[in-house]
Amino acid sequence: MEKLMPALAYALLAPLAGGLLAGADRIVSARMQRRVGPPLLQPFYDVAKLFSKGDVEVNSLQYPLALCHLLFMALAGALFFGGGDILLVIFVFTVAALFLVAAAFSSASPYSFVGAERELIIILAAEPALLIAAAAIYKVSGSLNFHAVAASGAPLIKQLPGVFLCLFYVLTMKLRKSPFDLSYSHHAHQEIVKGITTDLGGRTLALIEITHWYENILLLGLVYLFFAFSAPLALAAVALTYFLEVLADNTNARVRWQLALSSTWTITLLLAGGNLLALYALGGN
């Protein structure tokens, strides 16, 4: 029951928190661009409108694949906040992303194919950093359990600054922010065709949006872990991290996938890998 309650709380409340976060994101982005912007609840209105459109799938595979994308993402977050092994969380998280890729590949559209291929590049670029982060967290705290790490009082940010900076870099990809919003963007000025979601519409696209809300809360939960020794500081760090991601989103243009991939692997090797090697070399615990 102790593990079940946080998992259920995430499953039920993450869409609400993620939707509000998306609304705040739009408002902050609008202020940065000197616009009024939409109301805070606009993401919920958009999703409700998508559900009202009914069946607009290109083929019969898209909705089941999108539903699996949602369910596996929710499962990854429930495992994470419920105290599951972080390595298992990363693997489930990756499987969830692959269902989105499969949904895009199920269409005959060349734009969907390009979006799916770019999503695979994002997975290829980001997953090594997440795995190294998990290994580093275990080295410092002796656990891969969210609650155990938080309760240990281990100041991860002090011992893993390189890993955290690498994670911040990777979050720009996973949160779909510029300059690394390769597969699709939330901003109309970035592209005419929507990339991986080009042929997804109606209730299928609504599921994708809700999944993105689940994903954002899960990723920010990982940021929380680095400052978990102080809950107020951790919440402030999460808010500041997301604000900086929004700032980067509004001040950078999209880069080519070659630069995104090579720079992410370089940052992962130098910052995260170097930080982890230093821990072992110095015998840090």
DSSP states of 22-64 = HHHHHHHHHHHTT-----TTHHHHHHHHHHHT----SSTTHHH
202-225 and 86-105 helices cross at what angle (nearest 10)? 160
CB atoms within 10 A of CB 164: 25
- DSSP-derived 3-state class of residue 109: coil
Provide the pLDDT for residue 48.
93
Alpha-carbon Rg of the chain, whole angstroms?
Answer: 19
Q: How far apart are CA 209 and CA 202, in angstroms?
A: 11
Instruction: Report pLDDT digits (tens) over 57-89.
Output: 777 888 899 999 999 999 999 999 998 899 999
- DSSP-derived 3-state class of residue 169: helix
pTM: 0.91
Q: How far apart are CA 56 and CA 26, in angstroms?
A: 26
Q: Please state the rounded mean pLDDT for residues 144-151.
A: 88
Q: Please state the rounded mean pLDDT for residues 185-204.
A: 69
* Inter-residue contact 122 to 174 (CB < 8 Å): yes
Provide the pLDDT for residue 191.
54
Provide the pLDDT for residue 265.
94
Q: How far apart are CA 101 and CA 104, in angstroms?
A: 5
Provide the pLDDT for residue 252.
86
Which amino acid makes up residue 19? G
* 61: exposed, middle or buried (Cβ count in 10 Å: 0-12, 13-18, 19+): middle
Cis-peptide into 39, omega within 30 deg:
no
Q: How far apart are CA 48 and CA 273, in angstroms?
A: 43
User: Cα separations (Å) of 274 from 19, 30, 44, 131, 281?
Assistant: 36, 38, 42, 14, 10
Q: Please state the rounded mean pLDDT for residues 122-149.
A: 91
Summary count for the chain: helices (H), strands (E)? 12, 0
Provide the pLDDT for residue 200.
79
Instruction: Report pLDDT digits (tens) over 1-29.
Output: 666 888 899 999 999 999 999 999 999 99
Provide the pLDDT for residue 199.
78
**Largest distance between two CA atoms of the chain:** 59
Q: Which of 122, 142, 18 is nearest to 77 (CA)?
A: 18
Provide the pLDDT for residue 130.
94
